Amino acid sequence: MQLLRWIVGVLLFLALLFLSLQNSELVTLKFYHWWSWEAPLVFIVLIAFAIGVAAGLLAGALRASRFKRELNRIKRADRTAAAAASTTPRAWPPTGA
């Protein structure tokens, strides 16, 4: 699994390197008539990529925290049920044997 992660990382790095070498011309980003910004195309693409990665990591972190809360709730309910079962009186000797 670690090797696969390195391979994907190297491939992603090479793809972004070749992208940056081929797309160095200036582009203008315009937000209606209020704002405009001129930067190299590769810079804009890398910013969009970074925003996408950050959004994906945030979504994953939120999902993981939700699962952790649910797991803690289930463990707490299981402990409560086990404690309640251990305090109930039992008939001794067992009947029906």
What would the pLDDT profile of 39-82 be if each residue is shown by its tens digit?
Answer: 988 888 888 889 998 999 999 999 999 999 999 999 898 888 88
What is the crossing angle of helices 41-87 and 2-22, to 10°? 160
Q: What is the residue extent of each domain of the chain?
A: 42-83
pLDDT at residue number 91: 63
| Banded model confidence at residue 11, pLDDT cuts 50, 70, 90 | very high
- Give the global pTM: 0.59
What is the C-alpha separation between 58 and 28, in angstroms, rounded? Answer: 29
What percentage of the chain has pLDDT greater than the value 70? Answer: 90
pLDDT of residue 89: 65
Residue 89: both structure tokens together:
């009186």
**Side chain identity at 95, as an amino acid letter?**
T
Residue 83 has pLDDT above 90, yes or no: no
Higher pLDDT, 24 or 54: 54
